[in-house]
Amino acid sequence: VSGISLLPKGMAASKWVYDFGEGKADGRAEMKNLLGGKGANLAEMAAIGLPVPPGFTLTTEICTYFYEHGCTYPKELKTQVQQALALVESRTGRKFGDATNPLLVSVRSGARASMPGMMDTVLNLGLNDVTVESLAKQSGDRRFAFDSYRRFVQMYSDVVLNIELSHFEKLLDRAKEKRGVRLDNELLTEDLENLTKAYKARVELELGHELSLFPEWSNRCREFPEDPQEQLWGAIGAVFNSWMNQRAKTYRQLHDIPESWGTAVNVQAMVFGNMGNDCATGVAFTRNPSNGTNDFYGEFLVNAQGEDVVAGIRTPQELTIKARQSHGSELPSLEEVMPKVFQELMDVRKQLENHFLDMQDIEFTVEKGKLYMLQTRTGKRTAHAALQIAVDMANEGLISKGQAVMRLKPDLIDQLLHPTLDPKAKKNVIAKGLPASPGAASGKVVFTADEAVRRSQDGEKVLLVRIETSPDDIHGLHAAQGVLTTRGGMTSHAAVVARGMGRPCVAGAGDVHVDYGASQFTVGDQRTCVRAGEIVTIDGITGEVILGEVPTVAPQLSGSFGTIMAWADDFRTMKVRANAETPADARTAKDFGAEGIGLVRTEHMFFEGGRIVAMREMILAADEADRKAALAKLLVMQREDITELFRIMDGLPVTVRLLDPPLHEFIPHTEAEMASVAKAAGVPLERVRRRATELREANPMLGHRGCRLAITYPEICEMQARAIFEAAAEVGRTSQSGRTPVAEVMVPLVATLQELDLLKRVIEKTAQAVQTEQGVAFNYHIGTMIELPRAALQAGKLAGLAEFFSFGTNDLTQTTYGLSRDDAGSFLPEYKEKGIVEQDPFVSLDTEGVGELIEIAVERGRAARKGMKMGICGEHGGDPASIEFCEATGLDYVSCSPFRVPIARLAAAQAAM
Amino acid sequence: VSGISLLPKGMAASKWVYDFGEGKADGRAEMKNLLGGKGANLAEMAAIGLPVPPGFTLTTEICTYFYEHGCTYPKELKTQVQQALALVESRTGRKFGDATNPLLVSVRSGARASMPGMMDTVLNLGLNDVTVESLAKQSGDRRFAFDSYRRFVQMYSDVVLNIELSHFEKLLDRAKEKRGVRLDNELLTEDLENLTKAYKARVELELGHELSLFPEWSNRCREFPEDPQEQLWGAIGAVFNSWMNQRAKTYRQLHDIPESWGTAVNVQAMVFGNMGNDCATGVAFTRNPSNGTNDFYGEFLVNAQGEDVVAGIRTPQELTIKARQSHGSELPSLEEVMPKVFQELMDVRKQLENHFLDMQDIEFTVEKGKLYMLQTRTGKRTAHAALQIAVDMANEGLISKGQAVMRLKPDLIDQLLHPTLDPKAKKNVIAKGLPASPGAASGKVVFTADEAVRRSQDGEKVLLVRIETSPDDIHGLHAAQGVLTTRGGMTSHAAVVARGMGRPCVAGAGDVHVDYGASQFTVGDQRTCVRAGEIVTIDGITGEVILGEVPTVAPQLSGSFGTIMAWADDFRTMKVRANAETPADARTAKDFGAEGIGLVRTEHMFFEGGRIVAMREMILAADEADRKAALAKLLVMQREDITELFRIMDGLPVTVRLLDPPLHEFIPHTEAEMASVAKAAGVPLERVRRRATELREANPMLGHRGCRLAITYPEICEMQARAIFEAAAEVGRTSQSGRTPVAEVMVPLVATLQELDLLKRVIEKTAQAVQTEQGVAFNYHIGTMIELPRAALQAGKLAGLAEFFSFGTNDLTQTTYGLSRDDAGSFLPEYKEKGIVEQDPFVSLDTEGVGELIEIAVERGRAARKGMKMGICGEHGGDPASIEFCEATGLDYVSCSPFRVPIARLAAAQAAM
Ligand SMILES: [Mg+2]
Ligand SMILES: [Mg+2]
């Protein structure tokens, strides 16, 4: 195709303007970075021969240049714009600013991604007191011409000259009043002429006022520009200036769009859908964006401009007869009104899908029976539609299975797996927090885990509201429909546990102030007060907290879900495992396709019911003998749990991590609770108090936890190893499938080779003892977590002893960054806002810092132990960007919470392609 | 010299036994690793022609082999021992076990470093019922022979056969009773003969009893061995076995001696100092070990065995007439009693010092007028003596100045700078903690900082006792003579601050239980209770806590101190700076030779008096305006402080760190304190409460601190930069010396380039503003701390902005290890005990892990910025081993607390050599 720029970069830098029109274009769709999304697609449509009004695009590089050079343009720009304009003139047979045959243009911004907040569109540019007369003459419709002129003055004054719209609205109202009419289109032509004059007078007044305030702006215009060239450059400047306005900045921040991308500007010959009844304008999706069916889907208006369709004053008409019938509409469809144009549009639809290989969102205008395409872009769609369209297109042969897999954003899968709020329902949003675990849930507010359990046992649905949660609250999280916390981030305790259980969670809602004493919470200004027992709804996808019950829509997994997952698995090279402790979680994980358990957090098993009593007896034991007695009780329970996990995973590997959290997490800290613990454990209250004080730490995250506990109390390690191995022996002996368990024992928080050495001996000795006692062999491996910088650096040595590595990226991020994930919530949002971090490093792996340590560990570990098995079991294991890094780094598997397994399968497939 | 083993390692491995005697030796002094200290020095003495009884050494490699091969010996050993024994026989003209001319030997252990707890010595080995008769005949003294035999049986039974000494003591008492005498030497020859028989019968009884308990030991001996070969191998085995006994293990742990070193065994022909009045035995130091003067210093006994000198039953005699006179002794000196032997000994003394180039601690025996040297080793000495001897020897030309510098253990310097306990005083030690800051102090026990201030203002000396200290307690630490804490390690807050102030500190005395409520502490079993106001003494060098007052000795710095420091400075390449905030500390540092301040912890300036009020106003400010008003007050104070520091350092660089600790450290947490803060700051109590809650963090070490504060509140950073720069301008303008300040502004806890970028802009803008306002230029640099693993990895990027790096190894150790220094105290001791860490990584830099990150940062930083200035300002800056690492890594300076500056100067010199 002629016109594609293949110039080397150095030379291309001086090409600032790209033409399109008449089946030709300088640009193509893949040049979105340079031309913006709209410009690139216009070029593409022109290049493949679709009917696009001719025009040209000012590149995003101008925007970058503009901000790097004190808001000035490259010197070649003026000439290049004039040349491009001349080409449009020759293609349309009109002249810009010409008194008899004027060219009118639209000016639109066009960033890489569509971006609200920026200057959007100026239509009818080129109109002035002279050219308006030609337009009147040529169209044969003086009213249309002056209505266009009036709209242009208003639009231009608003977006380019920054004059309040209200001024114009007032004038319009006064004109209608004077005429005694109610609707704009009841105004007479002369009214519109006068109105335009009044508009321009007002503009002069406002500009003059501004100049009197800011005399240094003396070079600014003092009245509405009559000169089309001045109009054009004003509009271009307004687009570039709007790139840095506050709304655009905020939007970029929220959507992680770098400032350096810049925006392009599209200048295009005007076509009119409002020049009579042989004119129309419309928007369409090439397929249904809501459910994904292969139906043409859209609407149009006869004799209208694009903005009228959106404005919703007139009722738009359906495109197809089928749609009209199914919606029971009285208004005729395009298929009926303009059958020729409709057929042309159906051809365009097909051509676009065949060309762009994806569902398109298009805008078109019909001017006096001729179809013009004004825009095409990839259409937004629901998660369901995205899935359906990808599978259908692959089945239709439009795209490959691989492309179908690549096309689905893994996070969309989350929406398919959880109930969502009914989009049609009304919502009284009272606060917003972080969308910490997807899904929506309603329930009566409770403030304690115990209350959650009690009420839910009475058959009530409850929502647990806490300042923050601790392992003590696990039973409450289980019992509740969802959880709302006022502190903590995406990886706070509540968030992690809720995701693991598939419970919706909104975390860190800082505006919500919980008063446990009064059993209520207030929001922000304290005027909204919610008492225990009142119903509240949370949306874990948006982070919204909503007063009252909002109906939800249950997740429905279509056959396409299974299809895409199966395709993904064909491309995937990394295994996907789940983090799971309970049989329920393990079953969910397996149903979702987990290929093993990558992390059993054994401590979670100790928080429930009688177990915490035994655990506390162990902690409060006066000596080793007492401790061993308590451990004997725990052994029985732990063995049962692990047996069940081995059974469920049926021959798939199960990685069991030794006790990890500091012991103080098992001991309560209020006097009353301590007294009841003392009673339950049969020890003096004084000992509980003293032990609680002893165990208190300044920085528990860096304290006596992980393998350090096992070093101090080898008998705990021995008990846990025994539980694992006895379970392995038992399940191996009784396996129905013939598959025997693969037990992987994992030592957490290792910093030195010596720690691993010592504990490996204990574990191996126990394995041998159990094998001898039970007279049965079983398959086991001993490995270590790499979750401290020192461990990553020492990986070469550790690999001498460890049979596998599992990267604990939560702790590794905490230590590499020196950042507590429980405390980072107070300043990380500001860090994102100020551009210090692009992403919360607890959500998406910091590939530069933490990532380098992982790379070092992989390299050193595999150098010491060839082909060593390595995986990741932090929260990052379910994050697509992090999964991509894992694939690139050569990890063997990722492990994530059960509900993220499908996401990880998809992301892993994408990473492998 | 013939006999030195120069065999390659593979072959040397089969040489297990090294001979010495008759002016020849297989070994030499430098082979201490193989032969142990004693064996190597015996070989050396033999080789240089000193009169050493012939013998041989079984190497330390046998010990290692022994433990690696299930307590068995290398197969070549038996033959090699027999050959060596044959050589001793030929050199002495006697035969081992011979009935008429028996060879008797001593068997002694000999590790690399002398090590109590191990089997020490068996004398007279080879005696039995037959050989004792020959000894009697040859010595002409039957009583001597049987006394030797009796002692041998007792000693051998004790140390080799593990039979309780009390059995023999009882038998001895009974013999004396029967004879009606009081002293051992009043027993008749026949008594001794009977006693020996009784001893041996008892041995048989005990061994038989043991065998009945442990039948599996049936191959053990059942009676006292008559066979000299059996005696010999029994003694050798006892030495090797004792390497792993509990006392030896404990000693090694306390003195950081690796288990892998092993011990050697020395077998040597007996000589007798107790065969008549022409016999003697003695010990000596070649110089005075107490004050270092060049005087021969020792004592001897006529007609005695070595153990008699130590036993203290007879009063030993002086060696020289001078010593006898100065001590006013009546007993004649060796110089008088045996002038020829004395002269010989004086020659040996000179020869030894000339040869070993150090003060020696020797043992000698005179047998029938002939001098034998039994041992020489480097003599232990006080810190004062070490200094004096090194300087004297260099001045005498015995050693070079460099050798003198190398010879002083830097830690000894600490003893010279602080008061120490009078070594003659009695001490009632009630507990022991970590020796956290050197020096000794006595004072009345107080439990709060306020009480410390109040009482010390009343002129009382107080000792602050706390569970742990916080920045709130600084004024109390200042007011107290010393501080005792029950929690925390060598780098806990109390320890760090105390070292910085030069106050003695015992930290982490876990046996001490403080009851603030009762104003008392109890120790261990709770029987010892100390109430507020009672006097307690702490020894910061040993970690002892002592009841009552113990007199102390003030430090006295001799001229030699200045001499050695000046010599050290000649060799040193790294600069030494100090960490200091107060003028007093800065002056101390400068007096001790600091070449600048490497770390001004600005927050320390905010804790005192009115400042904390202003600081709290800042923290409690409702908005930015209030905050700025509070900051304006702080600016004045901060500027004054820094002005003073610049004045004192007079042109030397001063590195000022921006506010580092989390803000909650400035807010108290009890209700009463909060109320008074609210009153002082003029804000509602509710706001104080709320702010305290807001600021509370789960892991403050990883929380909102360091540069994160400056990012959130740029106005704090701006105020601090302004204070620094206004101070620089002022001092530069008024400098008397013509030298102008070098201000280094340091940004703490940087993790990302963006943080540094943002703050550098704020600081630079402030610098420019101050320069403009004041119309004066000043010298300043902006740098960053490298104290997070991520910063170390990103050093290449950071160096693009930072002009210098300062390694904050405290935080870097915490994060690299994932180890809180405030909490590690609960398990680090056990980690050392179990050999998991060799050293507390907060005391001595973990060169393998943390060190690798420093190396990475140095390499990447200097690659990006050539010759970039880098230093270390953690606690490790004053630790000799860490200083050695800093030198090797190419750092430009170390910065440590003022009282460690001389230590660092010396250590840096040693590292450079
Ligand atoms: Mg972890
Ligand atoms: Mg630090």
Cross-chain Cβ contact B699/A702 below 8 Å: yes
Mean pLDDT of B238-258: 85
Are the Cβ atoms of B830 and A711 closer than 8 angstroms? yes
DSSP string of B104-131?
-EEEEEEESS--TTS--EEEEET--TTH
Interface test with A, best of B836, B838, B859 (most A CBs within 10 A): B836
Q: What average pLDDT does range B489-509 have in this prediction?
A: 80
CA pair distance A62, A80, nearest whole angstrom: 12
**Does A711 contact B793 at a Cβ distance shorter than 8 Å?**
no
Query: How far away, in angstroms, is B788 Cα from ligand 2 center?
Result: 9
Q: Does B8 score more than 60 pLDDT?
A: no
User: Residue B341: which residues within 8 A CB-CB, separation 6 or more?
Assistant: B280, B334, B366, B369, B371
- A&B contacts, CB < 8 Å: 163
- What is d(CA A869, CA A803) in angstroms, rounded to the nearest whole number? 7
Which residues are CB-neighbours of A776 under 8 A, at least 6 positions away?
A729, A732, A733
Over residues A536-591, the pLDDT tens digits come to: 999 988 899 999 999 988 777 778 999 999 999 999 999 999 999 999 899 999 99
ipTM at complex level: 0.78
Instruction: Residue window 775-834, chain B: list those with CB within 8 Å of chain A.
Output: 787-790, 793-794, 811, 814-820, 822-824, 826-827, 830-831, 834
Q: How far is B697 from chain A (nearest CA, A)?
A: 6
Q: Going by DSSP bridges, is the β-strand pair A597-601/A653-657 parallel, antiparallel, or unpaired?
A: parallel
Chain B: closest CA distance from residue A837 (Å)? 8
Q: What is the pLDDT of residues B702-742, one digit of tens each?
A: 999 999 999 999 999 999 999 999 999 999 999 999 999 99
Average pLDDT over residues B669-690: 86
Question: Where is pLDDT greater, at B671 or B663?
Answer: B663
For residue B817, list chain A residues with Cβ-Cβ distance below 8 A: 751, 788, 790
Q: What pLDDT does A706 receive?
A: 97
Q: Is pLDDT larger for residue B526 or for residue A158?
A: A158
* Closest CA relative to residue A796, chosen from A756, A743, A764: A756
Task: Determine the residue of chain A that is closest to B812 in CA distance.
Answer: A818
- A672 touches B: beta carbon within 8 Å: no
Low-confidence ranges of chain A (pLDDT < 70): 1-13, 217-220, 309-313, 491
User: Residue B314 is inside which H or E element, if any?
Assistant: none
Distance (Å) from the alpha carbon of A815 to chain B's nearest alpha carbon:
5
Tokens of B769: 């503003």
Instruction: Give the pairing type, strands A575-579 and A597-601.
Output: parallel
Evaluate if residue B10 carries a pLDDT over 60.
no
Two tokens, residue B381: 């000495």
Expressed in angstroms and rounded, the spacing between residue B690 Cα and the centre of ligand 2 is 27
Is the pLDDT confidence value at B633 over 80?
A: yes
Best B717, B762, B787, B815 member to test A by mutation, with max A CBs in 10 Å, is: B815
Q: Which long-range contacts (CB under 8 A, 24 or more apart) does B90-97 make?
A: B91/B21, B91/B22, B91/B54, B91/B269, B92/B53, B92/B54, B92/B269, B94/B269, B96/B126, B96/B228, B96/B229, B96/B232, B97/B126, B97/B128, B97/B131, B97/B227, B97/B228, B97/B229
Shortest Cα distance, chain B CAs vs residue A874, angstroms: 16
Output the pLDDT for position B5. Answer: 43
Cβ–Cβ gap B850/A826 under 8 Å: no
Nearest to A703 among B823, B836, B850 (CB): B823
Task: Please tell me the predicted confidence (pLDDT) of residue B13.
Answer: 52
Ligand 1 centroid – CA A755 distance (Å): 16
Instruction: Say if the Cβ atoms of B752 and A850 lie within 8 Å.
Output: no
Round to whole Å and give the CA distance between B268 and B264: 13
Minimum CA–CA partner of B750 in chain A: A817
**Across the interface, do B755 and A836 touch by the CB < 8 Å criterion?**
yes
Kindly provide the b/e burial profile for residues A784-813, where b requires at least 16 CB atoms within 10 angstroms of the residue's own CB. Answer: bbbbbbbbbbbbbbbbebbbbbbbbbbbbb
| pLDDT score of A217 | 65
> Residue B467 has what DSSP assignment?
S
pLDDT value of residue A78: 95
Give the closest of B706, B755, B822 to A699, CB-based.
B822
Predicted pLDDT at B310:
61
Which tokens in the block code for residue B41? 């020095």
The Cβ of residue B7 has, within 10 Å, a number of other Cβ atoms equal to 11
The model's confidence at residue B340, banded by pLDDT at 50, 70 and 90, is: very high
Q: Which of B873, B876, B886, B896 is catalytic?
A: B873
Q: How far is the CA of A701 from the centre of ligand 1 (A)?
A: 9
Q: What's the gap in Å between A815 CA and the centre of ligand 1?
A: 10
Which active-site residues of A does the annotation give? 493, 873
- Across the range B362-370, mean pLDDT stands at 95
B74-78, long-range: CB < 8 A, 24+ apart: B74/B14, B74/B16, B76/B14, B76/B16, B77/B16, B77/B17
The pLDDT, as a whole number, for residue B313 is 66
CB contact under 8 A, B699 and A823: yes
Residue B69 designated active-site: no
Mean pLDDT computed over every residue of chain B = 91
Q: What is the pLDDT of residues B120-154, one digit of tens each?
A: 789 999 999 999 999 999 999 999 999 999 999 99
Task: Give B3's pLDDT tier (boundaries 50, 70, 90).
Answer: very low
Lookup result for tokens 């505006």: A511
B696: chain A residues, CB-CB within 8 Å: none
pLDDT at B9: 47
Q: In the prediction, which pLDDT does A10 show?
A: 45
End-to-end CA gap in chain B: 29
Please compute the mean of the pLDDT values over residues B307-323 and round it to a whole number: 79
B694 Cβ under 8 Å from any chain A Cβ: yes
pLDDT of residue A312: 62
pTM above 0.90, yes or no: no
Name chain A contacts of B789, Cβ cutoff 8 Å.
789, 815-816, 818, 849, 853
**What are all long-range contacts of B249-258, with beta carbons under 8 Å and residues at least 24 apart?**
B249/B117, B250/B117, B251/B115, B251/B116, B251/B117, B252/B115, B253/B832, B253/B833, B255/B113, B256/B838, B256/B839, B257/B111, B257/B112, B257/B113, B257/B115
pLDDT tens for A446-468 read 999 989 989 988 889 999 999 98
Q: Which of B754, B794, B823 sits opposite A849 (nearest CB)?
A: B794
Please report the residues numbered 695 through 734 in chain B whose beta carbons come closer than 8 angstroms to any beta carbon of chain A: 697-704, 706, 708, 711-712
Decide if A831 and B711 are in contact by the 8 Å CB cutoff: yes
Q: Annotated catalytic residue: which of B384, B418, B493, B604?
A: B493
* Contacts of residue B771, Cβ cutoff 8 Å, sequence gap at least 6: B725, B729, B777, B778
Q: What percent of chain B has pLDDT over 70?
A: 97
Quick check: is B873 catalytic? Answer: yes
Look at residue A100 in the predicted model and tell me its pLDDT.
Answer: 92
CA–CA gap between residue A464 and residue A670 (Å, rounded)? 21
Are A698 and B700 a contacting pair at CB < 8 A? yes
Instruction: Give φ, ψ of A265 to 5 degrees.
Output: -130, 130
- Interacting residues of B340 by C-beta distance below 8 A, sequence separation 6+: B369
> Do residues A809 and A842 make contact, with C-beta atoms less than 8 angstroms apart?
no
Residue B771 has pLDDT above 70, yes or no: yes
Which tens digits make up the pLDDT trace of A784-810? Answer: 999 999 999 999 999 999 999 999 999
Cβ-proximal residues to A617 (8 Å cutoff; 6+ apart), any chain? A626, A629, A630, A633, A681, A682, A683
* Ion ligand 1: residue ranges with CB closer than 5 A: A 787, 808, 811
- Ligand 2 centre distance from Cα of residue A816 (Å): 14
Rounded to whole angstroms, the Cα distance separating B175 from B194 reads 9
Which is nearest to B681 in space by CA: B785, B603, B754, B611?
Answer: B611
Which of B701, B711, B787 lies at the smallest CB-CB distance from A699? B701
CB-based contacts of B445, cutoff 8 Å, min separation 6: B462, B463, B465, B521, B530, B531, B532, B533, B534, B535, B536
pLDDT of residue B491: 65
Q: How confident is the model at residue B298 (pLDDT cuts 50, 70, 90)?
A: confident
Over 70: is that where the pLDDT of B202 sits?
yes
Mapped onto helix, strand or coil, the DSSP state of residue B58 is strand
Which ligand sits closest to the CA of B806? 2
Is the pLDDT assigned to residue B7 strictly greater than 70?
Answer: no
Residue B212 CB burial class (10 angstroms; 0-12, 13-18, ≥19): exposed
Least confident piece of the model among A247-256, A677-686, B181-190, B330-339 = A247-256
**With a CB-CB cutoff of 8 Å, which residues 369-428 of chain B face chain A?**
none
The pLDDT mean for chain A works out to 91
